[in-house]
Structure 1
Amino acid sequence: MSVSMNVGTGGTRTIYAAERRARLGVRHRLAGGARAGSAEEVADALVALHGTDPASVFLAVGARLTGRNGPVAAVERALYEERSLVRMHGMRHTLFVFPSALAPAVQASTTDPAAVRERAVLLKHLAAGSTFGGEWLAETERLVLAELAVRGEATGADLGTAVPVLRSTYVYGPGTRQEGVQSVASRVLRVLDMEGRIVRGRPQGTWTSSRFRWAAAAPHPPWDPAEARAELIRRWLGACGPATEADLKWWTGWKVTDVRQALAAVGALPVTLEEGTGFVLADDLGPVPEPEPWAALLPALDPTPMGWQARDWYLDPEHRAALYDRSGNIGPTVWWNGRIVGGWAQRPDGGIVHRLLEDVGAEAERAIGAEAERLAGWVGDVRVTPRFRTPLERELAGPA
């Protein structure tokens, strides 16, 4: 069964919300028959997994895998042993997990320009609040990289012990209300990370920990920035198209001129959406298979609800206040057939609880309950608290 095609005025293909939701269920590996067999398949299908909250990576993969086994071993193997997935800064200066093959395009299109700004800001702060300069910073970085070459992996504390200058401090914002003493360690490591010279390795503690070890990174092969932007747009439209220009600008964090050039480079075609003009790849105008009814429990910052700026086609605006924090970060969500219909949380005793924000019927309630049971089964004794708490998640989780 397929969603029917619609042609608007002037022959432009019209894609309504129902068809977009069908695409989402299949291409984001959420519908039952579309689920993936590996963490790499999930990351490849979604292009990027939000990595700001380490637990979200595992929860996002787990929601899309076949069977009832959890994703922890598979994700850890991909990230820390095979390096088929890599955690790095990407769009909007945010941490993501990408397929390693895509990392060079992300670095050239998005991370490199941000890294240039990050280094310039650090040098400016050091000049204003210390006696350190460019030569000092370069030598400190050389010592850090040399230590990692010997150790393989090391925590920030380990590096501070081995490279004492890394524990140096400077005055941030001298003469302002923000004035304070800061360590250079986190800033130096951040610059090296954004430049693709070091990478986060296995964390201390469980898979929910953000206390990562550091390792030297394999150098990215050079890409022309314009070609890299085109590759990233091509991959993203394949996963998330159709999308508006505003969606693409928001997701990438690029200038609108860069978005338009990348759309032209991949030969994207305009389509009519309910919110205006969208774009798809030239070979993506045909009908899509309509999946069987499906349910999913997705984590905070999951790439699906965070994939588009305009979200009314899968989220009732009346639910926003309960599901987002004040900065626009989405919390854990319950999905039915391509729409967000509620939220979920884990209580201190480990129980997975959810609340529906609209009537979805008995079939949906059973399917949602089965997904909650599957999630609880593999999470086990681990406690997951989103880094960015939202009103409904706080209420469901109850007192700590």
Structure 2
Amino acid sequence: MKKRIELSVINHYLAQKQHLWPGSRQPDPVQVTRDIVALHASAAVGPYLSLWARVPGFRRELLEDALFAQRSLAKVLCMRYTVHVAPGDEAPYFFQAYADRPPTRDQAPLNTLLVWAELCRDADAEALGLALRGRVLDVLREKGSATVREISGAVPELTARVRHSAGKKYEGEFSIGSRLLPMMCAEGTLIRGRPRGTWRSTQHEYAVLADWLPGVELASISPKDARTWLIRRYLAAFGPATPDDVKWWSGLSKTQVAETLAWLAPEIAQVTIEGCSENHLMLAEDLARLRDFTPPETPYAFLLPALDPYIMGYRDRGHFLGPEHNKKVFDPAGNAMPTVWADGRVAGLWGQRRDGPVVYRLFRPVEPA
């Protein structure tokens, strides 16, 4: 028989697993990142604010040390083809889980871009692409790390430009280097390093992955085992969740999600949640812990940044956000705004004025914490 769980209990339990209520905050940024799988990092400040919400006394130097000195954390391209901060020793799992993903619609192959940039003919594009990759690696092995601009100084073909979206409002152009280096990260040869300038900068250095994370072997696990690991980790951090939630969060295909959940079936329990029509999945060992869970007796609140892993973890957000507020919190692409939470549910939005103070607007009454 499926276990039926009160909605409020689920929200408190998830806040605990996500290290978001006071008794569950964790002082180690690496352990927090491991526990919630990864930190969304397409916005430079995102990982810092996600850790600030979960790590008592957090300072940005803690994340910088883990990323750039200890390298216990690393920036990897994974879920939904976006950059995340994840434990460095888990890079093979993230890489192999997506090793066979096709390019997205807006990702033209490098060979095509080289022709569009008038660097070569179709017949020569494959050879030129391989040569450019080799020269980029040579530059980085000599320099250790460098920006696209610095690498382009030694590989001038990278400065060639391609126009896109001709005749549209968002018409523009990009350099070959700005596409090739992220491609090489996706291929597992490069990795994103330090930001150039301030910690808020979106310009960063690149390094050879094998030099940045010595001892990490991307081929040490199969794609099937990597996907099994990834979805197991998702359920541990975000369950109960539906198969649609798994697909949304992971960016894997419907077939891959269904196959992986079938392999994990002996480890999974089905539960029903008060007020939710769909059955939800969670790890059986997690359900056993939930039975012993005692919700907090006092009110609590926390702030999450835009694109925080928790709010981005579900396709259906009904258990923590009323449908009447969905368009206020998420843009048409499904990206979350900075949110105010109270007792495990979204209660409003927040922002920071240029002169420093944090301001907020609540959707509903909140009991004082």
Asked whether the 8 Å contact 2:190–2:209 carries over to 1, the reply is: yes
Q: Which whole-Å CA distance do the structure 1 matches of 2:303 and 2:106 have between them?
A: 36
* TM-score in terms of structure 2 length: 0.88
Q: Secondary structure at the match of 2:219?
A: coil
Q: Which whole-Å CA distance do the structure 1 matches of 2:169 and 2:343 have between them?
A: 50
The yes-or-no answer on 1:143 pairing with 2:130 is: no
Match of residue 158, structure 2, among 134, 158, 166 = 166
Aligned twin of 1:272: 272
Aligned twin of 1:251: 249
> Which deviations, in whole Å up to 9, do the C-alpha atoms of 1:367-392 show, x marking residues without a partner?
xxxxxxxxxxxxxxxxxxxxxxxxxx
Match of residue 67, structure 2, among 32, 56, 79 = 79
Asked whether the 8 Å contact 1:50–1:56 carries over to 2, the reply is: yes
Evaluate the alpha carbon distance shift between residue 17 and residue 105 of structure 1 in structure 2; reply closer, same or farther with a 3 A threshold.
Answer: same
Q: Secondary structure at the match of 2:128?
A: helix
Aligned twin of 1:214: 206
Q: Which whole-Å CA distance do the structure 2 matches of 1:220 and 1:319 have between them?
A: 42
The yes-or-no answer on 1:156 pairing with 2:166 is: no
Match of residue 184, structure 1, among 146, 161, 176 = 176
Q: Secondary structure at the match of 1:358?
A: coil
State percent identity of aligned pairs. Answer: 36
> Which deviations, in whole Å up to 9, do the C-alpha atoms of 1:335-375 show, x marking residues without a partner?
111001011111010111122221112x23xxxxxxxxxxx
Asked whether the 8 Å contact 1:147–1:162 carries over to 2, the reply is: yes
The yes-or-no answer on 1:121 pairing with 2:109 is: yes
Asked whether the 8 Å contact 2:96–2:222 carries over to 1, the reply is: yes
Matches within 5 A, 1:337-356: 337-356=343-362
Q: Which whole-Å CA distance do the structure 1 matches of 2:219 and 2:231 have between them?
A: 19
> Which deviations, in whole Å up to 9, do the C-alpha atoms of 1:108-159 show, x marking residues without a partner?
1125524699987222343455325011111111111111111111111111
Match of residue 238, structure 2, among 217, 240, 261 = 240
Deviation at 1:173, TM superposition (A): 7.2
Evaluate the alpha carbon distance shift between residue 194 and residue 334 of structure 1 in structure 2; reply closer, same or farther with a 3 A threshold.
Answer: same
Deviation at 1:278, TM superposition (A): 1.3
Q: Secondary structure at the match of 2:296?
A: coil
* TM-score in terms of structure 1 length: 0.82
Match of residue 28, structure 1, among 18, 32, 54 = 18
Evaluate the alpha carbon distance shift between residue 192 and residue 200 of structure 1 in structure 2; reply closer, same or farther with a 3 A threshold.
Answer: same
Q: Which whole-Å CA distance do the structure 2 matches of 1:177 and 1:303 have between them?
A: 31
The yes-or-no answer on 1:263 pairing with 2:261 is: yes
Range moving further from structure 2, 112-121 or 295-304: 112-121
Match of residue 329, structure 2, among 323, 330, 347 = 323
Q: Which whole-Å CA distance do the structure 2 matches of 1:338 and 1:178 have between them?
A: 39
Evaluate the alpha carbon distance shift between residue 211 and residue 179 of structure 1 in structure 2; reply closer, same or farther with a 3 A threshold.
Answer: closer
RMSD (CA atoms): 2.4
> Which deviations, in whole Å up to 9, do the C-alpha atoms of 1:3-22 show, x marking residues without a partner?
xxxxxxxx111233222202
Deviation at 1:255, TM superposition (A): 1.6
Q: Which whole-Å CA distance do the structure 2 matches of 1:175 and 1:97 have between them?
A: 36
Aligned twin of 1:50: 40
Matches within 5 A, 1:81-100: 81-100=69-88
Aligned twin of 1:395: none
Aligned twin of 2:305: 299
Q: Which whole-Å CA distance do the structure 2 matches of 1:357 and 1:179 have between them?
A: 38
Asked whether the 8 Å contact 1:125–1:172 carries over to 2, the reply is: no
The yes-or-no answer on 1:65 pairing with 2:55 is: yes
Aligned twin of 1:387: none
Q: Which whole-Å CA distance do the structure 2 matches of 1:184 and 1:84 have between them?
A: 31
Q: Which whole-Å CA distance do the structure 2 matches of 1:53 and 1:178 have between them?
A: 20
Q: Which whole-Å CA distance do the structure 1 matches of 2:129 and 2:107 have between them?
A: 10
Deviation at 1:186, TM superposition (A): 0.9
Matches within 5 A, 1:5-44: 11-44=1-34
Range moving further from structure 2, 349-358 or 119-128: 119-128
> Which deviations, in whole Å up to 9, do the C-alpha atoms of 1:71-112 show, x marking residues without a partner?
301100111111111111111111111112322111111255
Q: Secondary structure at the match of 1:312?
A: coil
Aligned twin of 1:197: 189
Asked whether the 8 Å contact 1:39–1:71 carries over to 2, the reply is: no
Aligned twin of 1:289: 294
Asked whether the 8 Å contact 1:47–1:235 carries over to 2, the reply is: yes
Asked whether the 8 Å contact 1:204–1:212 carries over to 2, the reply is: yes
Match of residue 222, structure 2, among 221, 224, 240 = 224
Range moving further from structure 2, 91-100 or 168-177: 168-177
Evaluate the alpha carbon distance shift between residue 179 and residue 119 of structure 1 in structure 2; reply closer, same or farther with a 3 A threshold.
Answer: closer
Deviation at 1:289, TM superposition (A): 3.2
Asked whether the 8 Å contact 1:56–1:301 carries over to 2, the reply is: yes
Q: Which whole-Å CA distance do the structure 2 matches of 1:335 and 1:177 have between them?
A: 37
Evaluate the alpha carbon distance shift between residue 255 and residue 116 of structure 1 in structure 2; reply closer, same or farther with a 3 A threshold.
Answer: closer
Range moving further from structure 2, 12-21 or 141-150: 12-21
> Which deviations, in whole Å up to 9, do the C-alpha atoms of 1:261-283 show, x marking residues without a partner?
21122232322232311111122
Q: Which runs of 5+ in 1 are unaligned?
A: 1-10, 365-400
Residue 22 of structure 1 aligns with an amino acid whose one-letter code is H
Q: Which runs of 5+ in 2 are unaligned?
A: 211-216
Q: Secondary structure at the match of 1:243?
A: coil
Residue 283 of structure 1 aligns with an amino acid whose one-letter code is E
Aligned twin of 1:4: none
